[in-house]
Amino acid sequence: MDFATFLQQLINGLSLGSLYALIAIGYTMVYGILRLINFAHGDLLMVAAYTGLFGIGMFSLPWTVACALALGLTGVMGVLLERGAYRPLRRAPRISLLISAIAASFFLENLALVLLGGRPRAFPVPPLMAGAIKLDGLFIPRLSLWTPTITLVLLGVLFLIVYRTRVGIAMRAIARDLETTRLMGINVDRLIALTFLMGSVLAGAGGLLWAMRYPQVNPYLGIMPGLKAFIAAVLGGIGNLAGAVLGGLLLGVLEILIVAFFPAWAGYRDALAFGLLIVVLLFRPTGLLGEVLMEEKL
């Protein structure tokens, strides 16, 4: 493989990786605060993808409006999810919370299946992101450049909120110790809802970009990216925002490069992430950048 091909695959991998990072942030934020895998997080991708699809394709809205609408709706869905499926169980045993998360995820998928049908639909890719540019023998899809850029901007805003505002301080305080934060007079429930809102908007952006990358929208669209993004979050150290980004990029690049170097292994691509997860849990359960989070709550 020559250097140009390698570079091309690397850009491709970084693009996929930044998508994983975008989705992983939502997992890691919720996990940091509630110690819960939000199983339905992946399904928010599906919600965003369908909203975008119907907005552009059916109501022929300008794609910017449709995408903004998709982000908004996904954010609202995330908050509703927290209200409906997680808040009532805040004092319940952990296993109940997890079962509730799984049930919510199945509910969303099957509701979408009933309402929208199981047939995959083509996602209309906006002209700005379609096509590819040729550069010095490199062939780079425009989307592969847009995805990391959009991710970078969104993450910049997120990091500003989390590390530079009072709301961000409160969020980080909840992640440390929920009960004490409550005693400090902070409305914990409202902040948790806000966390879900932010994570869900990022998932919405991830869903739209995912649908542009693999323009086949179906009700089960979000499952695989969701699982892999969660693994990326564990890989980077769950509860750690920078870790989620690092884990996402690493997983994306690894997936693309392994398939590029060993085409015969392409069929095993989906198993790679889980293999990686087992290795991480065996040898470094806190992930690459994680603090010792696991033992506190176990």
Partner 1 sequence: MPHSRRLQHALLNLGVVALLALVLYWAEQRAGEYQIRLLNNAAIFITLAISYNLINGICGQLHLGPNAFVTIGAYTSALLTLSPAEKELTFLITPLIWPLNQISTSFLVSLVAGGLMAVIFAFLTGFPVLRVRGDYLAIVTLGFGEVVRVLANNLQWLTNGPLGLKGLYPYTNLWWSWGVAVLALVVITGLVNSAYGRAMQAIREDETAARAIGIDPFRHLMLAFLVSAFFFGVAGGLLAHLITTISPTLFTFFLTFNLLIIIVIGGLGSNTGAVLGAVLFTYGSEVLRAVEEPITFWGLKLPGIPGMRMVIFSLALLLVIIFARQGLLGRREFSWDGCQRYLKRLTRGLV
Pick 94 or 176: Cβ nearer partner 1: 94
Q: How far is the CB of 226 from partner 1 (least distance, A)?
A: 11
Q: How far is the CB of 132 from partner 1 (least distance, A)?
A: 30
Pick 126 or 219: Cβ nearer partner 1: 219
Residue 133's DSSP bridge partners are 140
Q: How far is the CB of 27 from partner 1 (least distance, A)?
A: 10
Pick 11 or 255: Cβ nearer partner 1: 255
Pick 90 or 190: Cβ nearer partner 1: 90
Q: How far is the CB of 197 from partner 1 (least distance, A)?
A: 21
Where residue 240 falls (left for φ over 0; alpha for ψ -120 to 50; beta otherwise) is beta
* Euclidean distance between CA atoms 298 and 294, whole angstroms: 6
Pick 132 or 271: Cβ nearer partner 1: 271
Q: How far is the CB of 166 from partner 1 (least distance, A)?
A: 30
Q: How far is the CB of 227 from partner 1 (least distance, A)?
A: 7
Distances in Å between the Cα of 235 and the Cα atoms of 18, 89, 109 are 14, 28, 27
Pick 93 or 263: Cβ nearer partner 1: 93
Does residue 206 contact residue 88 with C-beta atoms inside 8 Å?
no
* Euclidean distance between CA atoms 92 and 101, whole angstroms: 13
Q: Under 8 Å CB-to-CB from 67, ≥6 apart: which residues?
A: 52, 55, 208
Pick 65 or 103: Cβ nearer partner 1: 103
Q: How far is the CB of 268 from partner 1 (least distance, A)?
A: 6
Pick 186 or 238: Cβ nearer partner 1: 238
Dihedral angle of Cα 154, 155, 156, 161, to the nearest 10 degrees: 100
In 3D space, the residue among 156, 219, 165, 143 whose CA is nearest the CA of residue 21 turns out to be: 156
Q: How far is the CB of 83 from partner 1 (least distance, A)?
A: 11
Residues that bind partner 1 (CB under 8 A): 31, 35-37, 84-85, 88-89, 92-96, 98-100, 102-104, 106-107, 110-111, 113-114, 118, 227, 230-231, 234, 267-268, 270-271, 273-275, 277-278, 281-282, 285, 294, 297-298
